[in-house]
């Protein structure tokens, strides 16, 4: 049965698909401390049972005196959950009540970081830089010619 690797590595495991049926198999990667060379190494096993049955060998020095380490665990949150947690941060919202442009920029940067997205739009990047400098959103919109766009964007019916 052919096994192909998927271009996805989740912390501590590699996912693969078997044949064409898209069945997922978790192939664990365990971390060990080698007492012989005093290095931390990662060992890949095709199955969990193979990891339990095997005597781990250090890939660096060939030693067998390895101690399995507890690896970090990654928890995946939905985009909605991440945004909810962000909006619960009172420090991010405090400056918005006083209409501080720096607070708006901080919130926007935090949202960008939380979503893991880069700002590719040069105008948006310039806008954030100017907000961080303390310039008002209205002045920025006017200088970029965005203040009249909302009036012409959608005619009322």
Question: Could you tell me the pLDDT band of residue 150, with boundaries at 50, 70 and 90?
Answer: low
CA separation for the pair 99, 136 (Å, rounded): 9
Calculate mean pLDDT across residues 129-135. 91
Residue 104, pLDDT > 50, answer yes
Predicted pLDDT of residue 7: 34
Question: Could you tell me the pLDDT band of residue 149, with boundaries at 50, 70 and 90?
Answer: low
Helix axes 101-115, 90-97, angle to 10 degrees: 150
Length of the chain measured in residues: 157
Domain tally, the chain? 2
**Residue at a domain's end among 68, 89, 123:** 68
Q: Tens digits of per-residue pLDDT, 30-77?
A: 899 999 999 999 998 888 888 888 899 999 999 999 999 987 777 777
Question: Could you tell me the pLDDT band of residue 14, with boundaries at 50, 70 and 90?
Answer: very low
Predicted pLDDT of residue 45: 84
Residues 119 and 138 in one domain: yes
Residue 23, pLDDT > 60, answer no
On whether residue 74 sits in a domain, the answer given is: no
Predicted pLDDT of residue 147: 67
On whether residue 34 sits in a domain, the answer given is: yes
pLDDT > 90: percent of the chain: 19
On whether residue 86 sits in a domain, the answer given is: yes
Residues 105 and 53 in one domain: no
Residues 60 and 88 in one domain: no
Predicted pLDDT of residue 127: 86
- pTM of structure: 0.43
On whether residue 73 sits in a domain, the answer given is: no
CA separation for the pair 41, 9 (Å, rounded): 17
**Residue at a domain's end among 68, 101, 119:** 68
Are 13 and 6 a contacting pair, CB within 8 Å? no
Burial of 67: CB neighbours in 10 Å, binned 0-12, 13-18, 19+:
exposed
26, β-bridge pairs: 15
**Residue at a domain's end among 68, 94, 112:** 68
Task: Give the structural domain span for 102.
Answer: 79-150
Predicted pLDDT of residue 65: 95
């Amino acid at each position: 049965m052919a096994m192909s690797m998927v271009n996805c590595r989740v912390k501590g495991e590699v996912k693969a698909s078997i044949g064409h049926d898209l069945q997922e198999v978790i192939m664990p990667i365990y971390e060990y401390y080698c007492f012989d060379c005093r290095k931390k190494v990662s060992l890949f096993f095709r199955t969990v049972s193979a990891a339990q049955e095997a005597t781990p060998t250090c890939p660096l020095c060939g030693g067998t005196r390895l101690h399995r380490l507890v690896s970090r665990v990654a928890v995946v949150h939905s985009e909605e959950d991440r945004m909810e947690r962000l909006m619960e941060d009172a420090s991010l919202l405090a400056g918005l009540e006083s209409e501080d442009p720096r607070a708006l920029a901080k919130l926007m940067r935090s949202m960008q970081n939380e979503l893991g997205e880069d700002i590719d739009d040069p105008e948006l990047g310039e806008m954030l830089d100017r907000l961080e400098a303390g310039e008002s959103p209205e002045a920025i919109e006017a200088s970029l010619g965005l203040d009249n766009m909302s009036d012409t964007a959608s005619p009322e019916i």
